[in-house]
Amino acid sequence: MKIQSMACRLGCGACCIAPSISSPIPGMPNGKKAGERCVQLDERNLCKLFGKPSRPKVCSDFSATLDVCGTTNEQALMLITELEQLT
């Protein structure tokens, strides 16, 4: 099965809300729980740490793909939430 990569939809933020992150995040030294909004996500759903060395590796390693992010922001939140619950 070929995974179809895609450009991240700016302003989506699903990957900064749905999954749990166990590594420290600036402002969240214990990481974050699934469904919790990352403190580094601004009011436009853009990462304030994007491109900075303080951005957690798990975040910078994430690649948007059609099977994980779907075709809408709402679908991305649903799909990533489902994946989080399965793991």
Tens of pLDDT along 6-65?
999 999 999 999 999 999 999 999 999 999 999 999 999 999 999 999 999 999 999 999
Q: Which residues pair with 25 in a beta bridge?
A: 28
Q: Is the pLDDT of residue 1 over 70?
A: no
Confidence at residue 16, expressed as pLDDT on a 0 to 100 scale: 97
Cβ neighbours of residue 14 under 8 Å, at least 6 residues apart? 69, 73, 76, 77, 79, 80
- Calculate ∠ Cα 75-79-81, nearest 5°: 115
Handedness of CA 81, 53, 39, 42 (dihedral sign): negative
Q: Is the pTM of this model over 0.85?
A: yes
